[in-house]
Every structure is written in structure tokens, then in C-alpha cells.
Amino acid sequence: MMDPHLDTHRLRQFMAVAEHLNITRAAADLQLTQQAVSSTLKSLERELGVSLIRRTGRSIDLTPAGQTLRDGGGPLIDASRALVRATRAAAAAEPDHLIVGHTPALTSDEVFDLTEPVRQAFPDASITARQCFPGDLAPALRAGTISVGLRRGSTTPRDLAAAIIAYSMLNIAVSAEHPLAWKASITMGELAGFGLILWGPPGESFYSDFLMSVCRRAGFEPSVTVNHIQGTTPTTAVIGNGHFAFVTAEPGPCHHGRAVVIPIEDPPMAPVQALWLRHTTPRLVQPLLGAVVPPG
């Protein structure tokens, strides 16, 4: 007997129930009647031959089968919507356009370098780089406002596909008045005793935790300040204070001489991770994913 296929209309209703764990609230969210949603759930359970929810008094919970469907359902719905967008774009003969969302931890220059394989494979395609905060990448991918997301990270979100595509060499940025500003290069040990400025609190940002681990591997625990100005070039974070920041900008003075970037001897390498919708194979994204660069 052939396995049943999943009706995305019914799957969306189940996902709303799985989110709210309440049929009344799910029905209101979907702008459907409670009876319609209950009927859809029963039909879906009948088609799959499993129980998806269990009722305890007035509350409901997901069965193990329901949890499995919930975990895999989101990416299927995302892929379905992406396929609709791609089909309509093909029918309209729209030109190839890659929209790259990237966090502030990646500069526009880095995005340009990373997209070189795409430019070589599709020389007529247009490419747009759009800065996003880390928490905005996944919603933008689902909405189709970006084609691929780039961030500093290595953990894979549950409902997205991800791959490390490159590693960047880290340098140090300090203000022009900083005691280390005169040095041609520094060791990690020389940073002990100076404060580290980050863009997100440790424990809430993979990149912040990664930079803290770089310091710990060098044998010191830095005091931390979270930058109160978000979205600007990372080298601006040290202007007007005595902290240091890890950056990927080229060594030398910057911002009209108000800050300086210094190379680190035996520099640490920071990962660049690409995120895209699971169950999709974006044509313009494939060259980007094939350009994985090993560390070192």
C-alpha cells in the first residue's frame, strides 16, 4: 500500500493546533470554525493512521506522532510556499535575483567576496545584500524576502538547513587612543586586562559565546560590555572607549583615524554559516554552498 501524502492545507491547520495546544485559539488564528479544525484533525489522523493529539479534560497535548509531525511540518510548509514563489517567478520570466541577508557581524565586503562563486556561475544574475539582525533571518527566509542568510554561527536551527561555507580571520579593533593602538600586531595574551565589547549578551548569542571562548582558550576571562549602538560597522564599537573588539576588517586606521585594526598573531578563525529553507534547492544558492573553505 502506498504511503499517504500530506495535504498542506490540513497540515497548516494541525500546525496551528500544535502551536496553541488549543483548538479554539487555533481556529481563531486560522479564521475558521472550531468544528472545521476538529474535522480536519480527525481526517488527518485517519489518513495517517495515527493519533496526533490526546485530550485530558479541557486541555490537549501532542502524542509522540504529533510531535514528529509538528517538528517536520514547518519546513514542509515553508518549502511549499517557496515553490509557489519560484513557480510564479518562472511564469513571469523574472530575472535571476539572489537576496542575501547577513548579520552585522559580516561586512558587505565579506558578502561580496562570499558571493563570488554565484557571480561566476550566473554572471547575469542580480545580487542584493541586506543587513538583518540574527533573529530576523529565519522569518525573512520563510517570508521569501531573502534567499539565503549568512551569520556567524555553527548550530543548526531545528526548522532550517545550514552549512559552514567559510572561515574569517579575526583581527582586533581599538580606539586610536588605546594603549595597544601603536602595535603592528598583538598576541591574544596582550588583550588580558582589557574589556571586550560585544553585540549581544553572552548566553544569548552564538557569536558572543564564540568570542568569549576565544579569550578563554588564550587563558583569560575578559570583562564584557554590550555595544549600545547596533547595526553599524563593527569597528565603530571601540570609538570613544577603552575596549577591544574582534573584527574581520582589514588592518589599518579607519573612521578618519579614530579607530585602528590590528592583526593578531596566530589569529583565531570565525565561521560563516549559511541558512536556507529545508527541502528546497535554490539554484542561485547552490554555488555559495559549494564554496566551503576549511579553517586555517
Q: What is the CATH number of the domain that holds 208?
A: 3.40.190.10
Q: Is residue 2 part of a domain?
A: no
The verdict on 74 and 132 lying in the same domain is no
Q: Is residue 251 part of a domain?
A: yes
The verdict on 122 and 158 lying in the same domain is yes
The verdict on 283 and 153 lying in the same domain is yes
Domain boundary, last residue among 89, 108, 134: 89
Given a contact cutoff of 8 angstroms between Cβ atoms, the answer to whether 251 and 261 are in contact is yes
In whole angstroms, give the CA distance from residue 1 to residue 66.
22
Q: Is residue 3 part of a domain?
A: no
The verdict on 281 and 144 lying in the same domain is yes
pLDDT < 70 regions, the chain = 1-4, 291-296
- Total count of domains within the chain: 3
DSSP assignment string, 132-195: --HHHHHHHHHHTS-SEEEES--PPPTTEEEEEEEEEE-EEEEETTSTTTT-S-B-GGGGTTSP
Predicted TM-score (pTM) above 0.85: no
The verdict on 237 and 199 lying in the same domain is yes
Which alpha helices (DSSP H) does 21-115 contain, by range? 23-30, 34-48, 64-91, 108-114
Domain boundary, last residue among 89, 117, 141: 89
The verdict on 102 and 58 lying in the same domain is no
Looking at residue 296, its pLDDT comes to: 39
Looking at residue 206, its pLDDT comes to: 86
Residue 288 class from Cβ within 10 Å (0-12 exposed, 13-18 middle, 19+ buried)? Answer: buried
The verdict on 176 and 157 lying in the same domain is no
The verdict on 84 and 131 lying in the same domain is no
Query: Number of helices and strands (H, E) in the chain?
Result: 9, 13
The verdict on 60 and 183 lying in the same domain is no
Looking at residue 2, its pLDDT comes to: 55
Domain hosting residue 158, numbered range: 95-167+271-289
CB proximity list for 186: less than 8 A, separation 6 or greater: 172, 180, 262, 263, 264, 265
Q: Is residue 296 part of a domain?
A: no
Domain boundary, last residue among 44, 63, 89: 89
Q: Which three three-digit cell numbers place residue 217? A: 582558550
The verdict on 255 and 187 lying in the same domain is yes
Looking at residue 3, its pLDDT comes to: 62
The verdict on 152 and 276 lying in the same domain is yes
The verdict on 154 and 109 lying in the same domain is yes
